[in-house]
Amino acid sequence: MDKNSSVYKMLVLGILCAVCGLLLAGVNAITSPLIEANKLATVKASLEQIYPGGDFADVTDDYISLDETGLIDGIYEAKGKGYIFTLHGMGYNSNGLTFMIGFDNDGKVSGYTALEQNETSGLGSRCFEADYTNQILALTSADPIPLLSGATLTSTAVQNGIDAAKAVFNEVNGIEYDPDAVAANPVLGEIDFSANNAHCEAQGDGVYACYADGYAAQNENGEPNEAVITIKDGKIVSVEATVVSDTAGICDTAVADSALAAYVGADLDTDVQTGATASFTNASIMAMAQAALQADGQ
């Protein structure tokens, strides 16, 4: 065959391409397991917080298509034990947060912990502290995830992430549950508002002048928010926000008439839902309401 002919050149090119393909396939067969092993090694220390000494496999590629939210970063099987999901979300801090949750093969939550978060101390950070963590650890993949009063943005991010993990885990394991179920919120007397430093001074006839740290006091070295709260027969009659040190335009939903009206008739056993989106200010008002009721009951 004429070596200068186009047929000869095409034949040689074809042979070279085939050889290169075989070589690449061979290299890939050798390196792919190493790459996967290295990827797993980088997260293994984190995974072992939930399943110490576990035999882990990265099954992200097997199941990630089941995630409709885009909140799942990784899925890992602890062979014979359960699954761990690494997740991300956006809380109060604009840098976002990452965390992981594990489910035993029977659906019980086996672990829950932050991977990286910079949420505000005493507020969003509480989503990764003992009280809230213990609530999550008491659940199963069929249970709704509770929000955390005073840390609405962060706990909503956590809730959304865990709901995404639940959906995939339950589908893979054939577990039936109600994805629209809503967890009961804690009542006013059960919420930890220690970060708000709330206190009240009796003015007589069930009237209390109350003070609590909101955004300004906790983040800008500003003054606390203030309210006058009236109580009769152990229930709140009215809440009047008298001094609001937090940023106007952001805190407004927490001190709007409709939000303050939600406290009327409330006692320490009431689940107060104000609909406010201003987490810091809302927490300060709730903290004052709690403090006033506690003071009135003494």
Q: Are 228 and 208 in contact (CB under 8 A)?
A: yes
What tens-digit pLDDT sequence spans the chain (298 residues)?
A: 555 666 555 665 666 666 556 656 554 555 445 445 455 666 888 999 999 999 999 999 999 999 999 999 999 999 999 999 999 999 888 889 999 999 999 999 999 999 999 987 877 888 999 889 999 999 999 999 998 876 788 999 999 999 999 999 999 999 999 999 988 888 999 888 888 999 999 998 999 999 999 989 988 889 999 999 999 999 999 999 999 999 998 899 999 999 999 999 999 999 998 888 777 899 999 999 999 999 998 7
Task: Classify 208 in phi/psi space as left (phi over 0), alpha (psi -120 to 50) or beta.
Answer: beta
- For Cα atoms 56, 57, 62, give the angle at the middle one, nearest 5 degrees: 150
Report which DSSP code applies to 4: T
- What is the rounded distance in angstroms from the CA atom of residue 167 to the CA atom of residue 66? 8
Amino acid identity at 116: E
d(CA 152, CA 47) in angstroms, rounded, equals: 27
Euclidean distance between CA atoms 88 and 67, whole angstroms: 13
Residue 102, helix vs strand vs coil: strand
